[in-house]
A and B are shown apart, each in its own frame.
Chain A
Amino acid sequence: MVENAKGNNPDKTIDLKGEVCPYTFVKSKLALEEMDLDQILEVVVDHEPAVENVPRSLKNEGQNVIAVDKINDTDWKIVIKKEKEI
């Protein structure tokens, strides 16, 4: 696992490889709903449009997107801090 930019350890990681929009966002949102405030969620995606769309949609809902990192040739990792109850 590559450490993210702020060095936070995730409280939860979900693997959404193979998922496309809007389910990448839907499943990220559902995971966040079950978490506590200030906890960290890591989402791994391989659907390129999700790299833009998931962070944007989560920011619109008031969440804090800490980092978006390309972790290998096919996958990205999106790191989110739960800032707001959903």
Chain B
Amino acid sequence: MAEFTEEQIKRYSRHIILPEVGGRGQKKLLNSKVFLVGAGGLGSPAAYYLAAAGVGKIGIADNDNVDLSNLQRQILHSSRKLDTSKALSAKETLEDLNPDVEVVPYEVRLTSENITDIIKDYDIILDGSDNFPTRYLVNDACVLLGKPLSHGSIFRFEGQATTIIPGKGPCYRCIFESPPPPDMVPSCQEAGVLGVLPGIIGVIQATEVIKLILGKGDLLLGELLFYDSLRMDFKRLKIRRNPKCPVCSENPTITELIDYEEFCRVHF
């Protein structure tokens, strides 16, 4: 790519100074394409920092509008954007922060029909979805396309994250083979969330994506990170590939994408 502009040298100077990043690493970031599933609690902080870091292209899919109850945690949006598209609100906020970044909004719900076409040109996928059907769809699509995937999820005061590189470590189905039955999923009334919690988990996901792009450090590959905000406790659990995983094993039973029924929409 072209040389840095004076403005870029200043904007990214604290990256360029780092031996692990430098001008080369910054150019990798500027040339990278990251796709975010959701512009909500997890997608907001993740997208904010990825844009600030100079990730060159950010795709962001969300088919919801901004609701007042989102603003306790979804920091991409604001009071003046109530009832407008979250994907478009995200684009405006992110391009305002960093005009180097091209933000492509997708005002759609991801399904087995559209996901492959939408994500195929992105290097890395970050899942900030709030429901099991999308989470399994994204996992399976990333496995089938061989795309690295950052998984994150949150509930009440706790969150978890892991990084999936198909073929190199376990996928989401290696850990949780299939979606829970509907009566095991918390009802909307039970699904409160501490507003700051997705900030922690989403930024952990963004950190993993940035390290993947730079090729530096150690990833949460084969490890599930648990965070308990009430106890301020982080735990890492070793996870292994399941040789009988329905989607990422040598003899998969799932070879096509599945649209699971949605039970109760838990708005994280």
Residues of A at under 8 Å CB distance from B?
22-23, 25-27, 29-30, 33, 57, 60-61, 86
Contact = CB atoms under 8 A, between A and B. Distances in A.
A50 to B, nearest CB: 14
Interface of B: 4, 9-10, 13, 16-17, 19, 22-24
A23 B10 contact: yes
Contacts, number: 29
A29 B9 contact: no
Contacts of B24: 33, 86
Contacts of B17: 22, 25-26, 29, 57
Contact of B22 (A27, A57, A60, A86): A86
A28 B189 CA distance: 57
B22 A29 contact: yes
B23 A30 contact: yes
A26 B17 CA distance: 6
User: Considering the complex of A and B, which 10 residue pairs feature the smallest CB-CB distances, nearest first?
Assistant: A30-B23, A33-B23, A26-B13, A26-B16, A86-B22, A61-B19, A22-B17, A22-B13, A26-B9, A33-B24
Nearest to B16: A26
B23 A29 contact: yes
Contacts of A57: 17
Nearest to A61: B19
B15 to A, nearest CB: 10
